[in-house]
Amino acid sequence: MVGQGAQRLSLDPPTRRLTNEERGGSLLMASTLLAPATCVVVLGLLVPILILLRYSFNKFDPRLMMLEAVTLENYVKFFTDPFYTNVFWTTLRVALLCTLVCLVLAFPLAYVLARSESRHKNVLLMLVVLPLFVGNAVRAAGWMTLFGSKGALNASLLELGVIKAPLQIMFTERAVVIGVIAVNLPYMVLTLQSVIEGIPRQIEEAAFSLGAGPWTMSRRVLWPLALPGIMAGAILCFILAMNAYATPVLLGGPQFKMMGPLVFGQFRLNNWPFGAAVAFVLMTATLVLTGAANLLVHQRYGRGA
Amino acid sequence: MTTTRSLSRRRVLKGAATLTCLGLADLAFDAAAQSKGKVVVGTWGGDYARLLNKNIEQPILVAEGWEVIQDQAGDPERRSKMLAERRLPRGTTDIQGLSALNMFQMHDAGVIDTIDYGRLKNAPNLLPSMQYPYGVGHIYSGKVGVYNPKLVDPAPRSYKDIFDPKRGDKLGIIDIQYQYTLVCAALAAGGKVDELEAGKKLLLECKKAGARIYPTNEAFAQGLKTEEFGTGVMWKARVVQWQNAGINVEAIVPAEGALAYVSGFVIPKNAPNKPGAYAYLDAMLDKRAQEAFAIDMGYNPTVTNAIVAPELNKRIGFTPEEVKALVDLDYGYMTRNDVALKEWWDKELKG
């Protein structure tokens, strides 16, 4: 009886084999729908990337900018010169640190926003989004006035007698990390908030009713269920931090180097082959690391993650 | 029996087509009567582009019937574009604004025309030093010593005084000015414009003594204003702008001779409208335009018939002896070694 009832209540569509005509039609429909976006991606992204890849094997010539060649010398130069490898490691360190700090700062905020039933919830969300209305360079200019040796922060601390000499924040890695976190935090909060909102509150309550404390519930229930969102947010933050340009240039100053400004610097020198090679190293490293992190999480938490 | 007259669809379309044709013909006739043609000028954005429009394009070229379009971008981007377009029979710009060094580089790469000075009615007024075979100097200034009299006493008199390691902690350096700073330091160390090793050594000593490096001209000005450092080198024209902004800064013309900065224009070999390019060059050398640039931008005119008020000339100009002593970069040397110099700058000086 139960089995028959289940059959009657089933909402699954009746299964039958598609005819060849139907299969062809749906294929045509799918191709039509996919074509515009695919064309944009191929023409606007893949083709320029392939051209850039080709340039990275060319030779630099100060007079003519670039000579057609097939050589690995640009890549060899990058990986054998400690100056460039240090720039790479600095970029990686800053990106990982910023991602981690963003995650720690964003998770509680995203949780509160997701679980909030206040009628002002939309206003709170707008407040999170608000910094995105201002461009990165403008925001960095704001930080500059705050961090300068005679900026608001130093002036206040000196006036209050907390410090005797101005703190050197501008043109340091510290300033860049603060700046990048400020830029990336809204992305992380928004990604986490939407995922946490999708986790039914009842599941958390079930964990509590079975005797789990808040920490155990967060670790054993909330964290694994939110993991896809955490991964998405972390990947987004990591990619943005790896490719940061305005913040390192404006807050890091001339002696602090990250990969984004390095790529741009090479193109400004008209050294396109080396600039292209550095761009490829950056892109490949970002792709490999995000791919590896994704794989690791999938292996650790299985398909449920 | 009644007859009705209605507009058929075909009749409406015919009427519309006739009107369109008449309108287009009228527009074309007007355009031919009013416009001499289109000139596309490659230039930096910002103030320079605005002043080109205000002092050259609107009052002279547009008034004469030319249509002028600015293609604004940084000079590396525009140079890359010129090189990339070299094989095209028709390029996309008629005239390009570049520094003297970049003008040479484009000439060296074989992408720009030799200038026919016979086609320029204002050419007889042009200073001989601004008549490059491949380009025309528009404005010039010199790399002078700058100092804050409150922080630096006695006042420096030469590049040697400015790049003195003994007061290296008072020195400010601009990152984007690496080429000129290296050459100034070389002159300070007794080197030449194509022998920069002594200058590199001197810069390292200054850095060790506490010299500060600022990313841009604006950041340098900010540091000067907040008295983070007291001396450095900068274009005389820019010093005038800083003084106007209330920064406590004085300029000296160095005893070694000031390093010259010339900004000018070149004509790409494949420029679609060469008469337009020459019209632009002529308008740029016009007395009125040159005088207006001296007032608005603080750079010196390159024509002899431009009159600069004595008070302004005292602040932006150079005496005939100082003009004679101006030092030029070795363009060939800088072109060949630019990447190596920048690598040294990034790795050794800033590293």
Pairing of strands B66-72, B259-266: unpaired
The answer to whether residues B239 and B305 belong to one domain is: no
Residue B23 lies in a domain: no
Q: Half-sphere exposure of residue A27, counting CA atoms within 13 Å on the CB side?
A: 7
* Alpha carbon distance B313, B319 (integer Å): 9
Specify the 3-state DSSP secondary structure of A10: coil
Residue B56 lies in a domain: yes
CA distance B311 to chain A (A): 34
Per CB-CB distance under 8 Å, the chain B contacts of A253 are 213-215
Q: What would the pLDDT profile of B252-276 be if each residue is shown by its tens digit?
A: 999 999 999 999 999 999 999 999 9
Question: Does one domain contain both B73 and B95?
Answer: yes
Residues 73-92 of A with CB under 8 A from B: 83
- Residues spanned by the domain of B215: 141-260+329-349
- B179, B241: one domain: yes
Residue B170 counted as domain residue: yes
CA dist A260 to A236, A255, A267, Å? Answer: 16, 14, 11
Q: Are B316 and B299 in contact (CB under 8 A)?
A: yes
Task: Report the distance separating Cα B351 and Cα B347, nearest Å.
Answer: 5
- Same domain (yes/no): B165, B287: no
Do residues B334 and B206 both lie within one domain? yes
According to the model, what pLDDT value does residue A171 have? 87
B85 in contact with A, Cβ within 8 Å: no
Q: Are residues B62 and B99 located together in one domain of the fold?
A: yes
Q: Is residue B10 part of a domain?
A: no
- Does the pTM exceed 0.90? no
B223, two tokens? 């540091």
Does residue B15 lie in a domain region? Answer: no
The Cα of B208 is separated from the nearest Cα of chain A by a number of Å equal to: 14
Cα A250 to Cα A138: distance, rounded to the nearest angstrom: 10
Distance from CA of B288 to the nearest CA of A (A): 34
Distance of CA B92 to the CA centre of its chain: 20
Any idea how long chain A is?
305
- Contact status, residue A256 vs residue A176, Cβ threshold 8 Å: yes
Given A62, A249, A267, which is nearest B335 (Cβ)? A62
What average pLDDT score do residues B325-350 get?
A: 93
What are the residues whose beta carbons fall under 8 Å from the beta carbon of B50, sequence distance 6 or more?
none
Tell me the average pLDDT across B149-167.
Answer: 95
Tell me which chain B residues have a C-beta less than 8 angstroms from the C-beta of A269.
Answer: 76, 338-339, 342
Sort out which chain A residues have CB atoms less than 8 A from B214's CB and list them.
253-254
Whether residues B255 and B340 share a domain: the answer is yes
Q: Which of A65, A68, A86 to mutate against chain B (most B CBs within 10 Å)?
A: A65
Cβ-based contacts under 8 A for chains A and B: 52
Q: Report yes or no on B20 lying in a domain.
A: no
Please check whether residues B164 and B251 belong to one and the same domain.
yes
Total domains present in chain B: 2
Judge if B337 and B300 occupy the same domain.
no
* Domain ranges for chain A: 41-134+170-301
Helices (H), chain A: 2-9, 20-41, 47-55, 73-80, 82-115, 121-129, 136-147, 152-160, 173-197, 201-209, 214-217, 223-242, 246-252, 259-268, 272-301
B308 and B283 both lie in a single domain: yes
Each residue's pLDDT, cut to its tens digit, for chain A (305 residues) gives 344 444 444 445 555 666 776 777 788 888 889 999 999 988 999 999 999 999 999 999 888 888 999 999 999 999 999 999 999 999 999 999 999 999 999 999 999 999 998 889 999 999 998 988 888 888 888 888 888 877 888 889 999 988 888 888 888 999 999 999 999 999 999 999 999 999 999 999 999 999 999 999 999 999 999 998 899 999 999 999 999 999 999 899 888 999 999 999 999 888 999 999 999 999 999 999 999 998 888 887 765 44
Render B175-203 in DSSP notation, one character per residue.
Answer: GGGHHHHHHHHHHHTT-BTTB-HHHHHHH
Residue B243 covered by a domain: yes
Question: Do residues B252 and B311 share a domain?
Answer: no
Q: What's B289's domain CATH number? A: 3.40.190.10
Q: What CATH code is assigned to A41-134+170-301?
A: 1.10.3720.10
Is residue B184 domain-shared with residue B274, that is, in the same domain?
Answer: no
The answer for B 87-146 residues in CB contact with A (under 8 A) is 105, 108-109
Chain B residues whose beta carbon lies within 8 Å of the beta carbon of residue A249:
215
Closest Cβ–Cβ partner in B228, B339, B350 for A255:
B350
- B76 to chain A, any CB pair closer than 8 A? The answer is yes
